[in-house]
Amino acid sequence: MTKQIIIPFGPQHPVLPEPIHLDLVLEDEMVVEAIPSIGYIHRGFEKLVEKREFTEYVYVAERTCGICSFIHGLTYCQGIEEIMQVEVPERALFLRTIWSEYSRLHSHLLWLGLFADSFGFENLFMNAWRIRERILDVMEQTTGGRVIQGSCKIGGVRRDISGEKLGQMSKDLDSIGQELEELTNVFLRDASIKHRLKNVGVLSRDDAYSLGAVGPTARGSGVSLDMRKTGYAAYGKLNLETVAENDGDCYARCVVRCRELFTSIDLIQQAVRKIPDGPIDVKVTGAPDGEYFTRSEQPRGELVHYLKGNGTKFLVRSRIRTPTLTNIPPLVKMLQGCELADVPVIVLSIDPCISCTER
Amino acid sequence: MTTEEQLTMPIEVGQLIGRVEQYKQEGYRLVQIGCTKIGEVYEINYSFDKDFVFRNLRITVNGDTEVPSISGMYWGAFVYENEMHDLFGIQVRGMNIDFKGNFIRTSIKFPFGAAIPKGEQP
């Protein structure tokens, strides 16, 4: 019988910007089991709901993540609005959709850069992040913040975008799209990248579904689960085609994210064409009394905020289920049977956001 | 607003495994398990989804009630069950991967439940 050894992977590792630990049980060079641990930077954000008024908690919710902060804020506001039956102006819903898709663009580009770095393609890493800067510039110009936008509030949004600026953004996205064509062509056609990613970290469709995979991790295995299809914000008024691939390997997850860049551009341009004039917020009075599970599609997948209020200014509970937390069991499955050298690439292929997970 | 129909069914702890098994057979995926402390009791929500139809099972337990694990049916449930134990102190019986309190490391034991201050921990 082959002797088994355990190799600790993380919490500090060159491919991990944030700490997660895996005990890898190996037989020779093959991983036979992976046992994950998190909790190195658990911040107890959810507990803060007892000390911050529900209107202030938007800022806390946004700070759950430094990449998809806007979508956390949106999801929280959406949940409170559902409980309080607040009708948000349509223009605000379109603006939320536009900023959500910019968040997805910058998140996917960040991931593509990190992914390229994980298999040693430094130039590709730099090019992905160079394009990402153009996205972040627009975020900053329209919200005032590159990382934390603070533009979402209960009842609408804090800032409007002028028609002229929206037109400029749409035009810029055409040229960004051309740059993305060049970038994604390398990811999708380069022989060495294919060699590194094809048939690595395979997750079957059944496993993806039954283990609770979400986002590009699920869609890379053929599970076309995308919460934008529920029509929240203004997604119900836009044409959205869910991107899915069937191979379930690291390459398929990369293809999904590459194709989703173009979906995001299309959604923003559709939203710019269809955005109505009108107010961007409504006044909200009272306090939430009730509960709601609000769901949205983050760049990493389905995000759930469970909110429960008792009619006071302080919520009883805010429970945030982030996509990375639910993508951990599928990751464990992907790692079983892989080569030790492939572990960093497989871990990165789920786009882990430990900051979100350690809310 | 795009209000989603969210059906929450309060059930007894003894009914949990049977009802979860039913959801599993009907093809629902597990969305999350979450716990809420309401006074001295804990509400535990088991949320499922199939084709964007959201369903929720709710059990209400005392701090000393042992809750059966559903990880036999939904293998990935271990992340939520360990989290529930580490943050709220809920005892979960039969988890497929039991981290024995080490999944989420906190300086205060059970910070969301009956918190045990640092100096008083065993």
Q: Do B103 and A35 touch (CB under 8 A)?
A: no
Cα nearest neighbour of B100 on chain A: A37
Chain B residues lying within 8 Å of A47, measured CB to CB: 111-112
Q: Is B7 exposed, middle or buried (0-12, 13-18, 19+ CB in 10 A)?
A: exposed
d(CA A39, nearest CA chain B) in Å:
4
d(CA A358, nearest CA chain B) in Å:
9
Cα nearest neighbour of A33 on chain B: B97
What is the per-residue pLDDT for A116? Answer: 92
Select from B47, B13, B110, B42 the least CA-distant residue to A321.
B47
Q: What is the pLDDT of residues A227-277, one digit of tens each?
A: 999 999 999 999 999 999 999 999 999 999 999 999 999 999 999 999 999
pTM higher than the cut 0.90: yes
pLDDT value at A357 more than 90? no
How confident is residue B119, by pLDDT bands cut at 50, 70 and 90?
A: low
Q: Are A263 and A243 in contact (CB under 8 A)?
A: yes
Chain B residues lying within 8 Å of A85, measured CB to CB: 1
Q: Do B74 and A210 touch (CB under 8 A)?
A: yes
Q: What is the pLDDT of residues A197-218, one digit of tens each?
A: 999 999 999 999 999 999 999 9
Chain A residues lying within 8 Å of B56, measured CB to CB: 293
Q: Which residues are CB-neighbours of A234 under 8 A, at least 6 positions away? A: A90, A93, A94, A96, A97, A271, A274, A275
Chain B residues lying within 8 Å of A334, measured CB to CB: none
How confident is residue A152, by pLDDT bands cut at 50, 70 and 90?
A: very high
Amino acid at A154: I
Q: What is the mean pLDDT of chain A?
A: 92
How confident is residue A1, by pLDDT bands cut at 50, 70 and 90?
A: low
Q: Per the structure block, which two tokens stand in for A20?
A: 């997660």
How confident is residue A127, by pLDDT bands cut at 50, 70 and 90?
A: very high
Q: What is the pLDDT of residues A8-23, one digit of tens each?
A: 988 888 877 778 888 8
**Strand duo A289-298 + A301-310: pairing:** antiparallel
Select from A57, A328, A350, A303 the least CA-distant residue to B83.
A328
Q: Which residues are CB-neighbours of A295 under 8 A, at least 6 positions away? A: A75, A227, A230, A232, A302, A303, A304, B4, B54
Q: What domains can be seen in chain A, in order of their start residue? A: 4-357 (1.10.645.10)
d(CA A213, nearest CA chain B) in Å:
9
- Phi, then psi, of A299 in degrees rounded to 5: -55, -30
Find the CB nearest A316 among B1, B36, B86: B36
- Structure-model confidence comparison of residues B63 and A295, the more confident one: A295
d(CA B87, nearest CA chain A) in Å:
9
Find the CB nearest A38 among B37, B104, B112: B104
Q: Do B32 and A316 touch (CB under 8 A)?
A: no
What is the per-residue pLDDT for B117? Answer: 57
Q: Are A51 and A315 in contact (CB under 8 A)?
A: no
Chain A residues lying within 8 Å of B30, measured CB to CB: 212
Chain A residues lying within 8 Å of B3, measured CB to CB: 82
Q: What is the pLDDT of residues A19-40, one digit of tens each?
A: 888 889 999 999 998 988 887 7
Q: What is the pLDDT of residues A60-73, one digit of tens each?
A: 888 888 888 899 99
- The residues that bridge with A26 in the sheet, in sequence order, are A5, A31
Select from A206, A220, A283 the least CA-distant residue to A248.
A220
Dist. CA A183–CA A128, nearest whole Å: 7
What is the per-residue pLDDT for A15? Answer: 79
How wide is the angle at C-alpha A292 spanned by C-alphas A288 and A298, nearest 5°? 115
What is the per-residue pLDDT for A40? Answer: 77
Dist. CA A268–CA A261, nearest whole Å: 11
- Phi, then psi, of B67 in degrees rounded to 5: -105, 135
3-state class (DSSP) for residue B32: strand
Q: Is A33 exposed, middle or buried (0-12, 13-18, 19+ CB in 10 A)?
A: middle
What is the per-residue pLDDT for A359? Answer: 79
Chain A residues lying within 8 Å of B75, measured CB to CB: 210-211, 329
Q: Do A212 and B30 touch (CB under 8 A)?
A: yes
Fold of domain B6-107: Beta Polymerase; domain 2 (3.30.460)
Q: Do B34 and A82 touch (CB under 8 A)?
A: no
What is the per-residue pLDDT for B68? Answer: 95
Query: Complex ipTM, two decimals?
Result: 0.90
pLDDT value at A57 more than 80? yes
pLDDT value at B1 more than 80? no
Mutate to test the interface with A, among B23, B32, B85 (most CBs of A within 10 A): B32
